[in-house]
Amino acid sequence: GSGSGGGGGGGGALACVHLRRGDFVDECRRYEEEARSGHARGWLLAHYERGLSCLPSDEEVRLNLQALGAAAAARGERVAYYGSSDEPAALRGSQPAGTQVATLADSAGLLDAFAAASPEPLHRSVLAPVVDQLVCARASALLLNVFSTFSQLLMAHIGMRRPERVGFVRDLSELAQRDLGVHVDFWRRQNPFDPAKLLGVQVAWDAGRLRMVAAPGVVADV
């Protein structure tokens, strides 16, 4: 994605990384089967054709985090990483050297504090994704799963920072990202011909369609 960013000029910035595992193992397998079936839905094919990943491998997680850090550094931002994941260990085990991704699992008392402040009894399993949404909605850089409704809802929350200009939307166009000062990218697949790079191109939503954006030095030349 693109944008002016809230943490430019050498300042600090929060980066939110949303990684799905769990039920997405079967979900993504079904998506891949559909993509190969010859009668896949258009949006699904578009995601795969652009190199986007539904279930990134550990190495793809490392490469994508590395790309996220490089992009932030190019903008002059020092990034603190927050991870939203149903399997936090998958993030911890795939961090590039020098990168630390904090998750809700690292702050056990935080959920208890939220639960104590709630006027209604809330189970931790319900509360955790809510807290993740609240934290990630304050991020200026996001690495999301284009196949995930959680990621879409997160973009909607961010759009509500500017209700009069952007509002409650499921995706953020390049213009909206500039307006909001955020950078949105999606998990991408490893290039099988050059495993040190990611496949394809950086992408962003633009007027409801995915637009390809060059990312020199990060993605493969295509």
Span 202-221, pLDDT tens digits: 444 455 554 545 443 343 33
Does residue 143 carry a pLDDT above 90? yes
For residues 83 and 21, is the Cβ–Cβ distance under 8 A? no
Residue 11: pLDDT band by 50, 70, 90 thresholds? Answer: low
156 pLDDT higher than 60: yes
Residue 55 has pLDDT above 50, yes or no: yes
| pTM: predicted TM-score of the whole model, two decimal places | 0.79
Q: How far apart are CA 43 and CA 163, in angstroms?
A: 27
Residue type, 32: E
Q: How distant, in Å, are the alpha carbons of 13, 106, 132, 135 from that of 9?
A: 11, 29, 27, 23
Is the per-residue pLDDT at 56 higher than 80? yes
Q: What pLDDT sits at residue 82?
A: 94
What is the rounded average pLDDT of the residues 48-61? 91
Strands 209-213 and 202-206: antiparallel
CA–CA dist 172, 165 (Å, integer): 12
Q: Mean of the per-residue pLDDT values for the chain?
A: 81
pLDDT band for position 65 (cuts 50, 70, 90): very high
pLDDT at 16: 95
Tens-digit pLDDT profile for residues 84-137: 998 988 888 888 888 889 998 887 777 777 777 777 777 777 788 888 888 899
Residues paired with 188 in a beta bridge: 52
| Residue 75 in this model has a pLDDT that exceeds 90 | no
